[in-house]
Structure 1
Amino acid sequence: METAGSAYDLTAATGQLHTFEDILRTAAVTNDSIDAIADRLLEDAAVLSDGVLEERVPEVPILSGEVWAAGVTYRISEKARKAESAMPDMYLDVYESDRPEVFFKATPERTVGPDAGVGIRADSEWDVPEPELGIVLFEGSIVGYTIGNDMSSRSIEGQNPLYLPQAKVYDRCCSLGPCIRSADSIDDPHDLEMWMTVSRDDDVLYDESTSTSKMVRSVDELVDCYVTHNAVPDVSVLLTGTSLVPDEEFTLREGDTVEIGLEEIGTLSNTVVEV
């Protein structure tokens, strides 16, 4: 946990606490917020020095039983949709429909954390990162937010919409991090600045920003679609879509660096590897 410029190891405060999920379960039993639980542990928690933090290998901040994602939650240009798909009208239909697009994205085994390698498929010719606000859920309720990278093969999806699972779900197809911000500490998830840069060697190839205020769906609406008529795990993450998509002339290459920033949460950085 980080507060007032310092980082604390809450696991040192009690032998019963090992993961973020342990905090969630404790809060559920005591009917407290996760922030209240963390505050109680601070007095006995160990302050982590900068040196210790630098030596630690960053991990996925939450072991989500599943990661799902939403699509077409921002308006993407008609030109971009025509370039990506032989059936661009279907995207407009979803954009204007009452039912959002929500699809399965990743398991824990397919998900990586900060500074780890995100994957591009060896059988794909056109690959892009997709920076997204991630909703953290416990027993179907919103408890926090994080950053997600919904890696995508646009060439595979563009061949046929039925290939979407192969374009989206594969080894290292998703990254989450760098932390989880509690829902209570975010004033408005629909008013956060988001930006992404992609670098290759010393060159910045992409550098754009947007705001979650441009989403045409609310986080509550997306969560409702995900959990209704669905058996969801106790802990899950729902990504909320993106409007930051590089031009069709761009594709990721092995060795590229993707940095995604989200106001009030931080920056998620990953290198690109071929899988």
Structure 2
Amino acid sequence: MLDLPESGAFVGRVWRRGIGPAVVTVRNGDVVDITTREAPTMRDLLEQPDILSFLNAIEGEVICPLSTLAQTSVEVSGGTTRLIAPVDLQAVKACGVTFARSMVERVIEERAAGDPVRAHEIRERVAGVIGESLRDLVPGSDQAEEVKRLLLAEGLWSQYLEVGIGPDAEVFTKAQPMAAVGWGASVGLHPVSRWNNPEPEVALVVDSTGRIVGATLGNDVNLRDVEGRSALLLGKAKDNNASASLGPFIRLFDDSFSLDHVRRMDLVLDVRGEDGFVLEGRSSMAEISRDPADLVAQTRGRHHQYPDGFVLYCGTMFAPVQDRDVEGQGFTHHTGDVVTIASAELGTLRNTVRLATEVPEWTFGTAALMRNLASRSLL
């Protein structure tokens, strides 16, 4: 099901059969096309000084009930009317190693060089030294520097701990603009990977000035073995066909939803395989090591501008160690897994796992969007 809270201002994007991409909102259970010449793209809508007033002034065109759109959006392609990622021209960025628990797992991945068997062997020793001691550390603080000194003495210092408790956050490009997929679509794994997992995350939506205007759910699909072999393979581990999922909609900040709600948000993960395997997990934003506003400030500033805005995955505390195939080798995806990420504030994001070489190719980019909008007299 495509569940949304009963209250809140939600905007997103739909591919309309025979028309192309449309900017939409949800009103009384219906999906309403609000694409206009003033806001032909999501980027333009989110650049409005008063987004809510602008949104409410548009009458729009009802496309269909939300329940109908959910039915037509599951693993489809081509011209079918369906949900697509709720961002378009925005850069798709991500922050990693922002939670203590995932930080420990990244150290283990690095020590194991991407080998799940070795990871099992060293998990207890590394976790025994680090334990929960990093949970309350303020990155870049004097206390964090002392922890760094102790870990160096133990021979356990890592590049992941550097970005986890050092002054500088890890910020990387997750996908190109227009490359993310939305609710119901397949997500892609690079076929070289044998150890991978979903990453349930909150993604902040930021305009060109650095104003955080809302949030959505994200699955930052991760190849643990590829990244574990070398941090220099981060691009290969993170940016593949359909490896970035966002949705179902952006919830705009208003009187009922703010950055403080994001800071307290709980995410629930459910993975169900065709083999009957079930994995459940959670990630709590209350346990993040860096404040979300700080992550945005480290992404955009005088050092780097984003004239079309950006969406920023905030990281996850979820790092699955539950065995699936072989004892001691932990969790990895099988093709056909259905991944559902949910929160009370943002609804649900559902995707099915396939190989990146088997999901639909990404062919509709920025140039195609501009040509489509021009043909509809929206530019």
Query: Do both share a fold (TM > 0.5)?
Result: yes
Partner of 1:2: 26
Whole-angstrom CA distance in 1 between matches of 2:310 and 2:103: 32
Q: Secondary structure at the match of 1:203?
A: coil
Contact 1:70 1:238 (8 Å CA) reproduced: yes
Larger Rg: 2
The 1:219–1:82 alpha-carbon spacing in structure 2 relative to 1, beyond 3 Å, is closer
Q: Which amino acid aligns with 2:41?
A: T
Q: Aligned to 1:243, which of 307, 317, 331?
A: 317
Aligned ranges for residues 75-154 of structure 1 at < 5 Å?
A: 75-76=100-101, 80-86=105-111, 89-139=158-208, 140-154=210-224
Q: For 1:241 and 1:259, how far apart are their aligned partners in 2?
A: 17
Select 1:198's aligned residue among 271, 274, 299: 271
Residue 46 (structure 2) aligns with: 24
Percent of aligned pairs with the same amino acid: 33
Gaps of 5+ in 2: 1-24, 73-80, 112-155, 322-328, 357-379
Query: Counterparts of 2:330 and 2:203 in 1: how far apart (Å)?
Result: 27
- Offset of residue 145 of structure 1: 0.5
Task: State the 1:8 CA deviation.
Answer: 4.1
Partner of residue 264, structure 1: 345
Say whether 1:38 aligns with 2:38.
no
Change (3 A) 1:79 1:101: closer
| Paired AA for residue 253 in structure 2 | A
- C-alpha displacement at 1:93, in angstroms? 2.6
CA deviations on 1:122-163 (whole Å, 9 max, x unpaired) are: 111111111110011110321110111111111011111211
Deviation at 1:100, TM superposition (A): 1.1
Q: What is the aligned residue count? A: 267
SS of the residue aligned with 1:23? helix
**Alpha-carbon deviation of 1:36?**
1.7
Verify the 8 A CA contact 1:117 1:273 in the aligned structure 2: yes
SS of corresponding position for 2:202: strand
Q: How does 1:226-241 map to 2 (within 5 A)?
A: 226-228=299-301, 229-241=303-315
- Alpha-carbon displacement from aligned partner over 1:100-133 (angstroms, at most 9, x marks no partner): 1111110135311111111111111111111110
SS at match of 1:111: coil
* Greater share of residues in strand: 1
C-alpha distance in 2 between matches for 1:96 and 1:51? 44
Q: CA deviation at 1:21?
A: 2.8
For residues 231-262 of structure 1, the C-alpha deviation after alignment (integer angstroms, 9 at most, x for no partner) is: 32413111100011211511112111111112
Which deviates the most, 265-274 or 199-208? 199-208
Secondary structure of 2:34's partner? helix
Which amino acid is the alignment partner of residue 272 of structure 2? Answer: S
Which of 156, 160, 164 is equivalent to 2:234? Answer: 164
Report Cα offsets for 1:43-73 as digits up to 9, x if no partner: x653733575344311111114321100111
Query: Alpha carbons of 1:226 and 1:51: their partners in 2 closer, same or farther (altered >3 Å)?
Result: closer
Kept in 1: contact 2:43–2:308 (CA 8 A):
no
Deviations 1:13-67 (A, max 9, x none): x565543334224x2xxx32x122222224x653733575344311111114321
Stretches of 4+ moved more than 6 A in 1?
A: none
- Contact 1:100/1:225, CA 8 A, preserved across alignment: yes
After superposing the two structures, state which structure 1 stretch, 237-246 or 208-217, moved more.
Answer: 208-217
Structure 2 vs 1, CA of residues 48 and 267 (structure 1 numbering), >3 Å: closer, same or farther?
same
Q: CA deviation at 1:79?
A: 5.8
Report the RMSD for the aligned CA atoms in angstroms. 2.3
Distance 2:187 2:204 in 1: 20
- Aligned match of 1:186: 257
Distance 1:206 1:142, change over 3 A: same
| CA distance in structure 2 between the aligned counterparts of 1:207 and 1:186, rounded to whole angstroms | 26
Q: Provide the rounded CA distance (Å) in 2 between the counterparts of 1:123 and 1:245.
A: 20
Whether contact under 8 Å (1:81, 1:88) holds in the other structure is no
Q: Deviations over 1:87-107 (max 9, x none)?
A: 763222322212111111101
